[in-house]
Chains A and B, each alone.
Chain A
Amino acid sequence: MKTRIDSLDDVIASFAGQGYICDQRTALAVYLAAQLHKPVLVEGPPGVGKTELAKAASAFLEAPLIRLQCYEGLDESRALYEWKYGKQLLYTQLLRDKLSGMLADTDSLEHSMQRLGDLGDAFYSETFLEPRPLLRALRADEPVVLLIDEIDKADQEFEAFLLELLSDFQISIPEMGTVKARHQPLVFLTSNDQRELSDALKRRCLHLYIPYPDAALERRILAERVPELGDQLRDQLVAFIQHLREQDMKKLPAISETLDWARALVLLHADTLEPELVEQTLALVLKNEQDVALARDLLPHWFRKPRSA
């Protein structure tokens, strides 16, 4: 990992170099997180680039990205570590003769127990430990970027379990004691606001809200990501998407949808936005039947307006 970040502009420049265009606030969050060693909780509507932010940060810091996808019912054994039960059993089976041989000359139960005790934690050692993302992040040889994606989908218990990791970068494992991070990872948590996160979790994080981009930012993103798109078409497309976002829709189009649409238009060799073309490709932008119907009703009006203006 890069140990020194010179300035805020450094972050912005690197992000821009990777094609991740963001506003100053987002760069500020990454900068502060790295300097203060605090996790960042990223919230915002789906598709505005929350996960992308973690990837961009990982590339910027030249640190590997470890990702933990949250879902309902996620527990410690999936997130932190698990014992390789099968392997443990197999070994005890294979070593049965050896064990009984070893215990053959013991005369009492206590003696045998002691002999077994001398073996140490043979069956609960590294060999049988299956590290999951969180443990991997803590024990990595170099600092990493840890992305805990969609934390709002996990249960409340899991959130509480994360608190120790987020504030002290350590985790307690009953059989092994406390595992401290070798290098403090940079942690990103993302949330779609499906449920309210606990105050305890929020208190430990910097809070970044990424809204839908405004027209200027969206144009810059499009120019960067889909350079083949003509200037005129880009302006039209952004204006149209921004117009859609002002509507009362079930699922508003996010930046990822804009990009999909732009790529499709490039493939179709479109030069300008025409009503028929929009109608045919609307399904790329809107993912809900009612929204599509609503947008279709809007189309004639929208195409009249710019021409008269």
Chain B
Amino acid sequence: MADRRLHEFVRALRGAGVRVSPTEAEEAFRAAALIGYYPRDQFRETLALTLVKSQQERPDFDDCFESFFHFESAEDDDAEDDDAADQDAEGEPLSPQEGQGLSEQAAELVAQDAGQLEQTLARNAGEMDFTDMQVITQQGLYARRLLMNMGMGAVDDEILRLDASPRGGDQRRAGELREWRQQVRELAVRHVRRQFNLHGRAHGRALREETMRAAPFRDLREFKQVQTLVRCMARRLASLHQRRQKKAKRGTLDARRTLASSLRYNAVPVQLHWRQKRRLKSKVVVICDVSSSVRDAARFLLQFLYAMTDVLPRVRSFAFAARFDEVTDDFDRYSPDVAVGRILDRVSGSGTDYGTMFEEFVALCGSEIDRHTTVIILGDARNNDLPAGEQHLAEVSRRAKQVFWLNPEPPSRWNSGDAIMARYQPYCRAARRCASLNDLSRFTDYLLKSV
């Protein structure tokens, strides 16, 4: 019994997004058996020690623990109340006289006391597969199926038959049966809802993640979990590339050093030395347009790049709208939300001027751009009909290793209205659309391969 509850809890945890392997679950059962279920705090910590493997997952675990074990006790209480109600409703009128009126199957079901009824429900539910439930509206369907499996169909028939009967006693009885049926149905619905919370949530989460990844940046604010998702995506990317960098480090035999060290051992090459590839000292410079149309994209791009500090240690960032300023410190020091607010205070205004921005950029840190530098520009290239100043971008492109341009708008609109992508594009190694987290993650992957 206890084990089954723990199993259900582990499943609920998985639904809440905590990864738990079968071995870990088994470990948790052993630990719980050792420590016991009481006091509750101790029990919770025991499960946390064995099941939660990072501090980020801890809040999810706590939520899940609270709702799962709270839900259990609340449900038990409710069920008892209901059972009492059931007995009030069915016990007195149904038991003495049921033999004559009801068909055999219906009589069997109706005659069950609360405990037996619950067992019947649990047994039938156990034979059904609830794991396919994906959306909340399926609950009614599943509850109905569960009731049918329990043999409620016979009771339905009985009610219809009694309704049609002219005798007053039968009419009254039909009413009682109906009420009883309603109570059993509530039990079934509650059971199904719990199953949905266990299984449906995981599906729902996957679906939501899918939507968030593809949604345009502007709409992302409506999602609560977007920060978690961004962090998660960034971390996965970073660890992938970390491994790649390490692999690239292994080199060929360094004959000179090997020979030199072999002298110690009578010219026997005891210690082999390997030529190590020199670590890439790549620098990344980001220039973000933070005017209202592009602001959301800029925020996520910067957040992504700063989550990569393991693999991209040197990122300098600049923001511009009406003015142009370096914002590296803001992102180093504050959380993305705060940082964006601060930056907007400093540089916001109307009328982006790419030409002047590039000129200022070259003047400010043109000398620092070398062949290890990757420059990323994020903007819609809407220049308000001002001079394009592409010669400055050409200068940047000449000095830098590569220049990427990210545009939140679809390519068909890159040159419509006051947008002048065509003037800048020749100086970029690649220009890509970047309108959703998926685009962003693909670009970052590409960037990490090429720096």
Contact = CB atoms under 8 A, between A and B. Distances in A.
Given A89-B266, A195-B310, A199-B19, A32 B243 contact: no
Nearest to B238: A196
A211 to B, nearest CB: 9
A28 B270 contact: no
Given A89-B266, A89-B268, A89-B270, A196 B239 contact: yes
A209 B34 contact: no
B57 to A, nearest CB: 9
B45 A25 contact: yes
A36 B41 CA distance: 20
Interface residues of B, number: 34
Given A24-B45, A43-B55, A206 B268 contact: no
Contacts of B19: 199
A28 B53 contact: no
B265 interface: yes
B270 A85 contact: yes
B310 A36 contact: no
Contacts of A205: 53
Contacts of A209: 55, 58
Contacts of A86: 265
A155 B30 CA distance: 32
B275 to A, nearest CB: 16
A234 interface: no
A207 interface: yes
A35 interface: yes
B54 A206 contact: no
Interface string B18-42: 0101011001001100110000011
B435 interface: no
A156 interface: yes
Given A24-B42, A89-B268, A36 B55 contact: no
Nearest to A208: B49
Contacts of B58: 209
A157 interface: yes
A203 interface: yes
A207 B52 contact: yes
B270 A196 contact: no
Given A32-B35, A85-B265, A203 B45 contact: no
A205 B51 CA distance: 10
Contacts of A155: 246
Contacts of A43: 55
A55 interface: no
A205 B235 CA distance: 21
B239 A206 contact: no
B42 A28 contact: yes
Chain B CB count within 10 A is highest, among A32, A86, A89, A202, for: A32
A156 B54 contact: no
Nearest to B55: A209
B46 interface: yes
A207 B271 CA distance: 39
A208 B55 CA distance: 9
Contacts of A89: 265-266, 268, 270
Contacts of A237: none
Nearest to A85: B270
B45 A207 contact: no
Contact of A25 (B49, B246, B266): B49
A294 B447 CA distance: 38
B254 to A, nearest CB: 16
Contact of B54 (A35, A36, A202): A202
A50 interface: no
A75 B50 CA distance: 29
A203 B21 contact: yes
Contact of A156 (B34, B45, B52, B242): B242
A157 B266 CA distance: 32
A29 interface: yes
A244 to B, nearest CB: 17
Contact of A202 (B53, B246, B266): B53
A203 to B, nearest CB: 6
A35 B46 contact: no
Given A32-B31, A195-B310, A207 B265 contact: no
A306 to B, nearest CB: 29
A38 B58 CA distance: 20
Interface in A145-191: 155-157
A43 B50 CA distance: 14
B50 A206 contact: yes
Given A28-B46, A155-B246, A199-B53, A38 B27 contact: yes
A87 B76 CA distance: 73
A93 interface: yes
A28 B42 CA distance: 8
Contacts of B27: 36, 38
Interface in B253-271: 265-266, 268, 270-271
A156 B266 CA distance: 35
A89 B41 CA distance: 61
B35 A207 contact: no
Nearest to A209: B55
Interface string B40-74: 01100110111011110010000000000000000
Contacts of A207: 49, 52-54
Interface string A218-258: 00000000000000000000000000000010000000000
Contacts of A32: 31, 34-35, 46, 49-50
Interface string A24-61: 11001100100110100101000000000000000000
Interface of A: 8, 24-25, 28-29, 32, 35-36, 38, 41, 43, 85-86, 89, 93, 155-157, 195-196, 199, 202-203, 205-209, 248
**A-B pairs with the 8 shortest C-beta distances?**
A202-B53, A85-B270, A207-B53, A206-B49, A25-B45, A209-B55, A89-B265, A32-B31
Given A36-B30, A207-B54, A208-B49, 10 more contacts: A24-B41, A25-B45, A25-B49, A32-B34, A85-B271, A89-B270, A195-B310, A196-B238, A203-B21, A203-B53
5 contacts: A28-B49, A156-B246, A202-B53, A202-B54, A207-B49
